[in-house]
Chains A and B, each alone.
Chain A
């Protein structure tokens, strides 16, 4: 699947601490998602639940290229993005179970969470709607004259929505500081990229609007980070948007109810065995002698504790009181707008 040769060979100038951080962050997402899948199976989570397992290096790599104040927005496949930008595992898990301790007080669920503090703008259920919204976040930053950048994540399937191209045009026209991150996990539900477009690359579609872009190996967190830094530098220099088509893979079904008959078990297994992003970093840590098996075990344990704690919290947190049905429909003291934090 990956069009570029894997970057397994290189352990470029990367510190031990950095590698350990990526390992920890990716592992947190994976273990969290596994737990979410488990709670779904127990009936504690309902509705749609889209897991991020397999794609962890994308968001962890890009977060490594972000600075304080940068914004992010994504689709319904959002748990990993929230954990990676520092949102609390308890609050995310409790939202999944629809409890008052969740980020949206239980009213949003898996697909709809937000954090003004972490500049995370959701959590959107309508495929590609986050693309113009994200450009709007960048518009606000440009308007306010700061140097923040917005990361807009969307899927290979979303890339076929018309509003993406209206947004590209305006984002370039107005030099908006936005990185369009296409998480190309090869499938939109059951439709492979080959069955939805004859474009050979998705990033290449930016060319028509004058937006530069590139394809990145999304199973290599260091490659993602390097590409992210390049894109962010372009944006911060006032040169407008940049497109990263990050080649990745989701191991699980589209959502919990997907029978996944559109691909073979072998295809998935091969990806897990040969390209897994977490294993890749683990290898680097061990072969570079940055960490021992014992060290990594300790990290695994630490992550497991965080995830178990979040699950306990999510089970114990009460359901929202019935009054909550009628709140948050209209704002009284308009909390909207990024201006207050960024001006």
Chain B
């Protein structure tokens, strides 16, 4: 059987090339490794070697031929005793079939659907987070986070905490206070200031089956480690064809604290929410902090858990249940209303709720939705609300370009356009690095007053 020699692709981007020179002629005996030709690609001139043995029967493309498409037959290699005329071109070689683009399987966690795919919006799940009549305890966000970690460490011996000052110092923000005493240094691990290193070590431990909780003293310092978060933790499951799960939680305070200037005040919600393979949680209340952190620790995926220093000391009611969790992808309606939908998350909720209170005094009833998780996002609850109110304002602390609010707006355009009576307005932090001066800082941050103003715009008041 004669073998066709095809024009090779000699670089990842090569689609065609020039057959600069033949180094064999018809009738030559070749064995594998012999150089057959010189081929010019878009980048360089390369030597092209024979893979099979045989006799060069026919050169199908002349030396100097330009624009020879990859996979075009350029020569025929004959076996002993064959002639070029005997050899018929095998039909299959005629045209390489175009690879068919396959649709990704529908997945509940995949939030970014295109307009074409998003046909029907599922019914929102607005079941209560805990059964009615459950007793509650008043607790700070700090205590709730600590309890969540302690309960999960109690429940699962593979869960451990690592980070700077988490042990002996009792946590830079006291989230891990008492955990070293309770669980010992094997499970509460103090690290040197080596974020890139310990984020990688945590990721490796997760690949090997442990369930690390990696605390960043603040998420500003996670920028040192972002390569491992994204390239190692978020992508390995996919790159390994589903073999290598990475059950890890990266957590710590995110966003602006008070008066700590540009390098220590930034909201990373939109950054991480962009990454497929990560789950992103940003709670506001203590109950959500607890229920979602427990879910995060149990999740088989890398979870970015964005806390907030200013919220650590705030108190909320937390249900007194032995094992309280909140599922990802379920927004909560923090305040029902009929006139406008305010979508927020994290500390943005404080401004959203304050604005709603002010607006109520003006006779505008805002429905305030706390997204709670940004990947996955509960679009259904947002859309159902907008279909009722016909107006939407988003509120977040992060920068305005590429904000979560931008994404919500785009999703509403695609999926609820006919229900909108006004353009969606995104309230965000200002498009400037965080200043130190007290007066400037106040203006850089999002405020309830700005939310009120935006609502008045979309309600044409």
Contact = CB atoms under 8 A, between A and B. Distances in A.
B446 to A, nearest CB: 14
Nearest to A48: B260
Contacts of A161: 193-196, 224
Interface of B is mostly: loop
A11 interface: no
Interface in A88-116: 95, 98-99, 104-112
Interface string A248-264: 00000000000001100
A111 B257 CA distance: 15
Contacts of A111: 260-261, 263-264
Chain A at the B interface: SS class: loop
A29 to B, nearest CB: 21
A109 B263 contact: no
B432 A262 contact: no
B189 to A, nearest CB: 11
B162 to A, nearest CB: 13
B435 interface: yes
Contact of A46 (B169, B172, B438, B444): B438
Interface string B175-211: 0000000000000001011111100000000000000
Contact of A125 (B192, B195, B263, B438): B263
Given A161-B193, A190-B169, A262-B169, A98 B259 contact: yes
A1 interface: no
B168 interface: yes
B436 A112 contact: yes
Contacts of B262: 107-108, 112
A112 B438 CA distance: 15
A169 interface: no
Interface in B146-174: 164-165, 168-169, 172
Interface string B411-433: 00000000000000000001111
Interface stretch (A226-234, A271-279, A298-306, A323-331): A323-331
A196 B164 CA distance: 10
B365 to A, nearest CB: 33
A109 B440 contact: no
B48 interface: no
A324 B435 contact: yes
Taking residues whose C-beta sits less than 8 angstroms from the other chain, chain B's interface range is 35 or more
B263 A190 contact: no
Nearest to B444: A325
Given A126-B221, A160-B193, 20 more contacts: A47-B259, A106-B437, A108-B436, A112-B436, A125-B220, A125-B264, A126-B220, A128-B193, A158-B193, A161-B193, A161-B194, A189-B164, A189-B169, A191-B169, A196-B193, A197-B192, A262-B168, A324-B440, A325-B430, A325-B432
Top 4 nearest A-B pairs (CB, nearest first) are A109-B436, A47-B259, A46-B259, A106-B437
Contacts of B436: 46-47, 95, 98, 104, 106-110, 112
A334 B264 CA distance: 25
Interface string A289-332: 00000000000000000000000000000011010111001000
A191 B165 contact: yes
A4 to B, nearest CB: 25
A61 interface: no
Contact of A47 (B196, B258, B444): B258
A47 B440 CA distance: 14
A162 interface: yes
B439 interface: yes
Contacts of B431: 329
Contacts of A48: 260, 264
Interface string A157-185: 11011100000000000000000000000
Given A125-B263, A160-B192, A161-B194, A107 B437 contact: yes
Contacts of B223: 126
A100 to B, nearest CB: 8
Interface in B218-267: 220-221, 223-224, 257-264
Nearest to A106: B437
A206 to B, nearest CB: 18
A195 interface: yes
Contact of B259 (A109, A196, A261): A109
Given A107-B440, A262-B169, A325-B443, A112 B192 contact: no
B263 A329 contact: no
Nearest to B260: A47
B169 A109 contact: no
